[in-house]
Structure 1
Amino acid sequence: MRITQNMMSSSMMKNLQTNYNRLDKYQEQLLTQQRINRPSDDPVGISSSLRYRGEIDMTDQFAENSKDADSWMNFTDTVMNEAVKILQTVSEKAVQGATESNNPEARKILGQEIDELYKQMVAIGNSQFKGKYIFNGQTTDQKPFSDDPANTAYSLDEGIMRYQIGAGIYVDVNSLGKNVFGPFQDPADPTKAANVFKVLDNLKTALTGDNTAGIEKSIKEIQTTMDQVLFAQADVGARQNRLQFTTDRLEDLTLNYTDLQSKIEDVNVPKTITDLKTAESVFQASLDTMGRIIRPSLLDFLR
């Protein structure tokens, strides 16, 4: 086969372009610090990289959900703790009021104090977290209790608010109002379920009416409702403990996926610098070789 000047020039230009592309590739990798800058750089690697990115995004979203759930339960625990403190204060006032040495006026003053604590307990029952009522199930846009829930009938929603904190893993973030404060206590209903508001209202009435027997009865009822609130608070704590383990696991998963993604995408700087220097030498050698092989054209002779 006859080798012509055009064939030789074409072949040299093709090889020169290949060497130049290699040089450009390593320069781009060093500038971006990424081994894969386009799918053609590594079709198999980009597939794995996209999968890891999706896992990282999903894990990050689960972590955000976990933080929101923890914030909700922290707030719930705080207001429950305040409710317990109120009941402890009420218990002390009830014991003080049960003393026979108290005159009707003294008991009336204690009754006024209980009334203020009753109003504060109602405010706790209507607590909101990020604009959502926390003790009304899934009906978070409606206030669960009226200003006088001891004497005004109410019906609380019993829906559960769940946050997804993992693949197929959910956590209940809300506490049902009936489990904390008790359902409405209808005087006509023989079933007397513990109701925080009714207990406080009964104590207030007994103190104002100078009813020693009623005050002594309230002392036992207060302890029952306090145990009820403490049990609900313990349930929140148990869910928070589980949530903490899940949060730690999500952090580990994020680190793992990030490391795997880095191994695929990130450039090996020392190796790439060596490859770049080699590509520069090859490219320069190609230019020198072309300068020696390509013969001067007729135009060169006419100069």
Structure 2
Amino acid sequence: MASNTLANLQINLSRNQQLQEQLSSGKLLTKASDSPGGAVIAMQHRSDMATLDQYSRNADDGMGWLNMADTALKSASTQLNRARELVLTGLSSGTASSPEAREAIALEVDNLRESMINLSNTSYLDRPIFGGSTPGSVAYDKDGVYQGDDGKINRSISGNATVRVDTSAESVFGPETGNVFSLLGQIAEDLRRNPSGLNADLAGVDTAQKRVQAGLSGVGSRYNQVSEMQQTAQNRVLDLKAQLSDVEDIDLPKTITELALQQTAYQAALAATAKVIQPSLVDFLR
């Protein structure tokens, strides 16, 4: 009888200790043996959250690349608009008859060409965004010759979605044999020596502007895709955190109530045991 009573008291005391540990840690699960099934679910949730967090970081990096491309292409579009204005000015009858005026316009076109080369070498984290996967620091040299490669920079933003975050130089600045830099150089040359060639140059500027606009559209669509996938990943992480809390975290009011009841039951058991099992003279004689 005494052995059974002590065993039951020990079970009661162990339950007391378990509730106190849960209350102090705030967790239902502190080791796998607390709930093997719950531990498996918790580990799976944590693994999924780590994967989604990595996708979100990939998306952040991708949006950094695309933001830089968007800024550079907007500036390029503005400068091409200015180049078009200068070509039209060179074509006007008053300006066309003045070599000095055409020279001044040509100098501005030269500056636009240099500025466009600088834009083409826009970098993100020290890597040219129009240079493909080149390890070099520039996409175009000072003469407008491409120094990059045909590689692509991709970022995984979900389990089944990968997005290119760099931008093809040829698609926005034109093929190497007739890119926008050679076009601007030709415009400056025609302003100085062959004003009649400006009509063809004007058509070339319009073509270059269309390329840049198409590039801007592509960058914008990819940015939206990356942004939406990142938001999806972040929402999924919030859902997983809620599910993980359901598995791991205690219900605070419920646990406090259970602990109070358990302590009361333990004290009652002690009192009852003391009354039922009392030492006698025979116990001492034995």
- TM-score of the pair, normalised by structure 1: 0.87
**Following the alignment from structure 1 to structure 2, what is the Cα–Cα distance between the partners of residues 283 and 219?**
94
Higher helix share: 2
Deviation at 1:25, TM superposition (A): 1.2
- The match for 1:5 is none
Which one of 224, 227, 232 corresponds to residue 210 of structure 2? Answer: 227
- The match for 2:190 is 206
**Following the alignment from structure 1 to structure 2, what is the Cα–Cα distance between the partners of residues 203 and 45?**
72
- Which deviations, in whole Å up to 9, do the C-alpha atoms of 1:120-166 show, x marking residues without a partner? 100011111011111111114342211111xxx43541111110111
**Following the alignment from structure 1 to structure 2, what is the Cα–Cα distance between the partners of residues 169 and 222?**
36
- The match for 1:88 is 81
- The match for 1:120 is 115
- The match for 1:255 is 238
- The match for 2:103 is 108
**Following the alignment from structure 1 to structure 2, what is the Cα–Cα distance between the partners of residues 222 and 140?**
31
- Which deviations, in whole Å up to 9, do the C-alpha atoms of 1:167-186 show, x marking residues without a partner? 1221111111111112221x
- The match for 1:239 is 222
The CA RMSD over aligned residues, in Å, is 2.0
- The match for 1:40 is 33
Structure 1 gaps, min length 5? 1-7, 186-193
**Following the alignment from structure 1 to structure 2, what is the Cα–Cα distance between the partners of residues 225 and 154?**
17
What count of residue pairs does the alignment treat as equivalent? 282
* Residue identity opposite 1:174 in structure 2: D
**Following the alignment from structure 2 to structure 1, what is the Cα–Cα distance between the partners of residues 172 and 17?**
68
| 8 Å Cα contact 1:135/1:174 also seen in 2 | yes
- The match for 1:281 is 264
Structure 2 gaps, min length 5? none
* Residue identity opposite 1:281 in structure 2: T
| 8 Å Cα contact 2:131/2:147 also seen in 1 | no
**Following the alignment from structure 2 to structure 1, what is the Cα–Cα distance between the partners of residues 148 and 51?**
34
| 8 Å Cα contact 1:156/1:178 also seen in 2 | no
Deviation at 1:238, TM superposition (A): 1.5
- Which deviations, in whole Å up to 9, do the C-alpha atoms of 1:15-45 show, x marking residues without a partner? 2221111111112212222111211111110
| 8 Å Cα contact 2:102/2:192 also seen in 1 | yes
- The match for 1:132 is 127
**Following the alignment from structure 2 to structure 1, what is the Cα–Cα distance between the partners of residues 249 and 269?**
30
- The match for 1:4 is none
* Residue identity opposite 1:244 in structure 2: S
- The match for 2:247 is 264
| 8 Å Cα contact 2:106/2:192 also seen in 1 | yes
What secondary structure, in the 3-state scheme, does the structure 2 residue paired with 1:163 have? strand
- TM-score of the pair, normalised by structure 2: 0.92
| 8 Å Cα contact 1:155/1:184 also seen in 2 | no
**Following the alignment from structure 1 to structure 2, what is the Cα–Cα distance between the partners of residues 139 and 198?**
22
- Percent of pairs identical after alignment? 30
